[in-house]
Structure 1
Amino acid sequence: MEKRVFVIGLGLIGGSIALAIRRAQEDVTIVGFEINEERLGLAKTLNVIDEGAVSIEQGAKDADLIIISAPVGQAEEIMETLVNIEMKPTVIITDVGSTKQQIMSKAIHLHKKGVTFIGGHPMAGSHKSGVSAARPHLFENAFYILTPEKNTPAAKIEELKDWLSGTKANFLIMSPKEHDELTGAVSHFPHIVAASLVHQVAAIDEKNSTISSIAAGGFRDITRIASSSPTMWRDILLHNKDTLLALLEKWRIEMDRVKDMIDTMDSDAIYSYFNSAKEFRDGLPVKQKGAIPSFYDLYVDVPDHPGSISEVTSILAKEEISITNIRIIEVREDIMGVLRLSFRNEDDRKRAQICLAKHQFESFIEM
């Protein structure tokens, strides 16, 4: 019996989930909705969806699964629209938002209507965006958090997992509050810190523009996440307000402690501070996908002579290894290698390192 999936929002995440469902489910029709008609047409051309819906109502009324793939602010508005639509009583609705408490509070109206809503958060992404970047393997081995209501039947949770089995993700079940606290600490708050560091350097740049050249090295790398979507992060901060305010207060206390250690010239305390942080950080899983998307970078030590970079890229091209980004590193403190190559995944990076070694190019992975 044919089933229908309705995906609202056909960007990287929505498109990738649609493709993952398609590769694992038989007899399924995937319907998409996008305000942007050009993106909707592209999704159909790329076989991400089978049909396009002209409205949310048209796509939702016969759907067995509805996936809201939109920023948290828009997701709330979509949920309000869905409340007023007659849907199948067996339908499951889920979202992909980075915050869950506020979304789940909106879901109360759907629950009163007898509709199952299970919050979702696939914790993976890419430096690319849009439906053309969608890949069925985007979420493989990543954490996919589900936040059902306390009274959600276990069978419904298992049904959603089955729908999403093609993602090959690791599913975790937790409460909306627990989700927001954990992702606030390991994802949302680091984005605030990264943006703050950039603002600090930008202020210095107004007085001395030389800092821009120096910051092109390691500083640019550790603040990469500050280049994320401002719209998305505005919504996340507003939706996870209480958690982030608490974290900011703890951060203020932490920085006061560091300030005191420096002010009192307490060398033992300073050493211990960095050493304990190093030990904890070095103990974190290396290969496991976490809250912040991994960067699969390889640093290559190339000689400074004409043609050396093109030689590296030619070697990889012959092996059909795709490079997503390439950059010459000018400031290389704590980094071995003058050339930074970025890859789509760990397998591509490993293959690149092996084939470059065969051609006597030394390369390093920063742990």
Structure 2
Amino acid sequence: MRGKIFIIGLGLIGGSLALSIKRSHSESMVIGFDVNKEQGRLAEMLGVADGVSATIEDGARDADLILIAAPVQETQKIIHILKECELKSTVIISDAGSTKKEIVSCAKVLKEKGITFIGGHPMAGSHKSGVTAAKELLFENAFYLLTPEEHISPAEVESLKEWLTGTKAKFLTLSPEEHDYITGVVSHFPHMVAASLVHQAEKTSRSQKLIPRLAAGGFRDITRIASSSPAMWRDILLQNKEVLLKLMEDWQEEMENVKSILRQENSEGIFEYFFRAKLFRDELPQKEKGAIPAFYDLFVDVPDYPGVISEITGYLAKEEISITNIRILETREEIYGVLVISFQTEEDRERAINCLERYTSYETTIGL
């Protein structure tokens, strides 16, 4: 396919979409727009976009594909701007937002003009942001959810998939309502729970001063997603309010059941509760990307002597293995400490394990 692609929003997602499209449709022209002019300048300088438009109106003109990679609240405003633009009758417009019902409903203003809008949600991300973090294969093997309305033809959906073939994502088609409920269960609500656990720990830490220090290990890991953008999650919760209120009611009922078996000191019931949770969790796919970006952590037992961290990172650099984060767990008091190294992909983590086995005798374990 050959044509003009206009991407609104040149952050991590928009930039990665641009790179994947340029990869599979090299003869096409990718034009970008971002309210942050510096992001636009960097996108053009890094070759993420072939050019940058000064306005949405100019960029949308004559575009064959328009992708909106902006926060969900901003996406609705952009849709109304596009409604007033001079667009090709054959253009396909899609978004990359984490909620779909409100956005697809908003896009009815495009439907009234005969313009095709197909809701989209690439379920991949990174702890990094901005166009400099964009990666050509960010979405590889990730689920890419599409939520076309009933009037959208299969040919139009296939055309969008063809434009996006360079993502190497796994496309799934479902209704906007189904999308919001499923992502509510596996992504939006877990973020709420993580934030609530952090709030509980913070309140308790006012009287129990050891909590911040002891929370540096496993607690910090299981609440990792609470460090996500507050502005983004404010918008997502407001957009998916009804689903999340229902899930909160279900959660409260679940906790009442746990309180009941605990009050009764029901040993068998407590065991069964954790056993069933373990059974379901252990059967979840380990190799597939899900709604929440995976964290590929490697735990390395290291002796306490000067230079040990630079030694390990030096070996990884020698093998050209990129790391995304590194830290030391302070909860152990033996002669060995625990170095936690985070990687972007499972492949990088496997390469790191092989590298450290080759150059050192340090014991390594992966984060599950």
Q: Deviations over 1:299-334 (max 9, x none)?
A: 11112233322222121121111121111112369x
| % identical equivalent positions | 59
Give the 3-state SS of the residue equivalent to 1:189 in structure 2.
helix
Residues 332, 86 of structure 1: CA spacing in aligned structure 2 closer, same or farther, 3 A cutoff?
A: farther
| Equivalent-residue separation in structure 2 for 1:315 and 1:63 (angstroms) | 47
Corresponding residue of 2:354: 354
Normalised TM-score (structure 1): 0.97
TM alignment of 1:134-283, pairs within 5 A: 134-283=134-283
Amino acid at match of 1:312: I
| Equivalent-residue separation in structure 2 for 1:21 and 1:77 (angstroms) | 25
Give the 3-state SS of the residue equivalent to 1:80 in structure 2.
helix
Mapped contact 1:302–1:338 kept (Cα < 8 A): yes
Moved more, 119-128 or 320-329: 320-329
Mapped contact 1:7–1:66 kept (Cα < 8 A): yes
Mapped contact 2:303–2:337 kept (Cα < 8 A): no
Amino acid at match of 2:191: H
Give the 3-state SS of the residue equivalent to 1:137 in structure 2.
coil
Corresponding residue of 2:75: 75
Mapped pair 1:27 → 2:10? no
Moved more, 201-210 or 149-158: 201-210
| Equivalent-residue separation in structure 2 for 1:113 and 1:203 (angstroms) | 53
Amino acid at match of 1:285: P
Gapped regions of structure 2 (runs ≥ 5): none
Corresponding residue of 1:56: 56
Give the 3-state SS of the residue equivalent to 1:301 in structure 2.
strand
Gapped regions of structure 1 (runs ≥ 5): none
Mapped contact 1:218–1:331 kept (Cα < 8 A): no
Mapped contact 2:75–2:95 kept (Cα < 8 A): yes
Aligned length: 365
Residues 2, 272 of structure 1: CA spacing in aligned structure 2 closer, same or farther, 3 A cutoff?
A: closer
Corresponding residue of 1:297: 297
Q: CA deviation at 1:38?
A: 1.3
Mapped contact 1:337–1:364 kept (Cα < 8 A): no
Amino acid at match of 1:241: K
Alpha-carbon RMSD across the aligned residues, in angstroms, is 1.4
| Equivalent-residue separation in structure 2 for 1:271 and 1:147 (angstroms) | 40
Mapped contact 1:146–1:172 kept (Cα < 8 A): yes
Mapped contact 2:5–2:31 kept (Cα < 8 A): yes
Mapped contact 2:297–2:340 kept (Cα < 8 A): yes
Give the 3-state SS of the residue equivalent to 1:236 in structure 2.
helix
Give the 3-state SS of the residue equivalent to 1:361 in structure 2.
coil
| Equivalent-residue separation in structure 2 for 1:361 and 1:24 (angstroms) | 42
Amino acid at match of 2:364: S
Q: CA deviation at 1:337?
A: 7.0
Amino acid at match of 2:123: M
Corresponding residue of 1:13: 13
Q: CA deviation at 1:150?
A: 0.9
Give the 3-state SS of the residue equivalent to 1:10 in structure 2.
coil
Give the 3-state SS of the residue equivalent to 2:324 in structure 1.
strand
Q: CA deviation at 1:2?
A: 4.8
Mapped contact 2:145–2:171 kept (Cα < 8 A): yes
Give the 3-state SS of the residue equivalent to 1:338 in structure 2.
strand
Moved more, 254-263 or 193-202: 254-263
Amino acid at match of 2:365: F
Q: CA deviation at 1:120?
A: 0.2
Amino acid at match of 1:219: F
Amino acid at match of 2:363: E
Corresponding residue of 1:288: 288
Q: Deviations over 1:74-109 (max 9, x none)?
A: 000000111111200000000000000000101111
| Equivalent-residue separation in structure 2 for 1:347 and 1:25 (angstroms) | 26
Amino acid at match of 2:133: A
Mapped contact 1:146–1:171 kept (Cα < 8 A): yes
| Equivalent-residue separation in structure 2 for 1:331 and 1:205 (angstroms) | 17
| Equivalent-residue separation in structure 2 for 1:200 and 1:226 (angstroms) | 13
